Amino acid sequence: MTIADFTRQGPMAQDHALELASLLCSRLCHDMLSPVGALSNGLELLTEEKDPQMRARCFELLEQSARASADKLKFFRLAFGAAGGFGDAVPAAEPRALIEALVGNNGRITLNWAVAGDMLPKGVVKTLLNLGLIAIEALVRGGTLDIALETRGKMAEIAVRAAGPRIAFDTTIGRALEGKLAPGELSSRTAPAAMLAAMAAGAGGSLQYALSPEALVMGALLPLG
């Protein structure tokens, strides 16, 4: 389901779609603030620094921040946006590269990737990326991220598992995934999960999650068509 789908369902749905879109934009801006701010600080230091070794270090930090900014923009373009550079299907290598970039920037997470198929429907890719992002953010002290996808008939089954020494997961996000948010609980933090719930419901699919002290497991069952 897209924002255009909401707008065809009446004023209340339109208001919800606009709120969801604005919160997703807020989330994107929040996540981009750190690497872009680091770029700005690095450039400011570079203009003042005269020592060759320190200038070389500044250039390294600028390169890291620029790479992190580009990685996040590419990720959010496909996870939140229309990703107009792709058709209805996306090469499976694309979401893998995007997840690997986020995991690489974190430095404390080991990724295990088991995704079947060469091309994936865009809605399936959006779901996989957003569940992956939620899992990465749950691994505040590092750990293991397992992402698997297989097809059964005309359905795609996604499983994402985050396991580590401390799992940080707001159950409000879980309620958003299940489409059970209470009034006032929609925020920039829960908006991606709420978007997934709306997409899954509109497509005739489903989402679920399970949380324990050792692991967060999320799953999705989505039509391939």
Give the whole-number percent of the chain exceeding pLDDT 70. 90
- The reported pLDDT for the residue numbered 2 is 44
- Specify the residue for token string 């897209």: 2
According to the per-residue pLDDT averaged within each range, which of 17-21, 56-60, 115-119, 196-200 is highest? 196-200
- The reported pLDDT for the residue numbered 3 is 44
**In the predicted model, what is the mean pLDDT of residues 81-103?**
85
Longest CA pairwise span in the chain (Å): 64
pLDDT at position 107 over 80: no
- The reported pLDDT for the residue numbered 84 is 58
Name the pLDDT band for 110 (thresholds 50, 70, 90).
very high
- Which residue in 185, 84, 176 sits closest to 134, CA to CA? 176
- Number of structural domains the chain divides into: 1
Mean pLDDT of the chain: 86
What CATH number did the domain enclosing 198 receive?
3.30.565.10
The 10s digit of each residue's pLDDT in 152-190 is: 889 999 999 999 998 999 999 999 999 998 888 899 899
State how far the Cα of 132 lies from the Cα of 94, in Å rounded to an integer: 14
pLDDT at position 132 over 70: yes
Strand (E) or helix (H) holding 60: helix 52-79
**What's the pTM?**
0.84
- The reported pLDDT for the residue numbered 128 is 96
> What is the residue range of 133's domain?
3-223
